[in-house]
Amino acid sequence: MDFDDWLAFEMCGGFGEDRDVVCPHCQTALSVHTDEPEGRESYTCQSCGGVFVVDWDTPAS
């Protein structure tokens, strides 16, 4: 990402957004905040306490 791309990205809200996921342990629908627009991030379910990883590069099935 060059400086112009970075500047445009920051002006449009920068890193971070809320996304909807489903806990793979208890099937609870969750809204999680992602700091990276791509890659993998780890989350803890607020309902069951299970830890899971979301790969934002892999399309949801």
Tokens of 34: 């992602």
Contact assessment for residue 35 and residue 18, using Cβ atoms and an 8 Å cutoff: no
pLDDT tens for the chain, residues 1 to 61: 677 666 555 555 556 678 899 999 999 999 988 876 678 889 999 999 999 999 888 776 5
Q: Is 11 among the domain residues? A: yes
pTM of the model: 0.65
- 50: nearest Cα among 16, 22, 20: 22
Contact assessment for residue 12 and residue 30, using Cβ atoms and an 8 Å cutoff: no
Q: Is 20 among the domain residues? A: yes
Question: Domain total for the chain?
Answer: 1
Q: Is 61 among the domain residues? A: no
Give the domain range for residue 34: 3-55
At 39 the pLDDT is 84
Whose tokens are 């060059």? That residue is 2
SS3 category, 20: strand
How far apart are alpha carbons 30 and 1 in whole angstroms? 31
